[in-house]
Amino acid sequence: MRYSDGGSWDDRDEAFCCVWEIYCRKDGLVYVACDGYEDFLREPASPEIYNERFYPWYALVFNEVENEKELYPPSDVRLMKDMQLEYNRCREGLKEQRIAARPFTAVVAGAIEEEDLEKLEKREPNAIVELAALQPNQDVKNLLQACAGPERRAGDRERAAHPSAADPAPRHRSRVHRDGLAAPSR
């Protein structure tokens, strides 16, 4: 192994050793040994800190579950899968609603010839389109009407995005009395 200063592991001035700390549950002792040294560095003794498991190491396990049949805990992906599928289903529903609510042009059946419909469908931007079905001085709005899709009430978008969320407060319908004051209905 070479270092950035050009030296190698063997050229270093410090002496290194490999020290082993061995926990033996069978006899309940801790052994400390060093590679290349024939005796123990410390006399075998019981662990300094008592632990029910004996070993002082703990595995870092996420989503730990005590289960005799499963060796590995469930993954984050498996735990979030149902929530993600529900989120995807909600987003797909919103996408379908946006597509269904796109504006379109409505016309009375048979009011426009097939040739005029094709001109309207395949027109260039800012093009002037001549319609044979349009009489002189007739308003094009009488022949074609733009439809913007269904109207939405305030709060529909939030309820569509979170269908399982309950409304924070109950909504009351109001009745208008003869004097013009509104009273909540029961």
Poorest-confidence range of 84-93, 139-148, 155-164? 155-164
For CA atoms 6, 11, 15, 18, the dihedral sign is positive
Mean residue pLDDT across the chain: 78
Instruction: Give percent of the chain with pLDDT exceeding 90.
Output: 26
Q: What is the mean pLDDT of residues 55-61?
A: 85
Look up the pTM and report it. 0.40
- What residue has token string 């735990």? 79
Residue type, 117: L
- Give CA–CA dist 102/75, Å, rounded: 41
Candidates 5, 44, 38, 37; CA nearest to 21 is 44
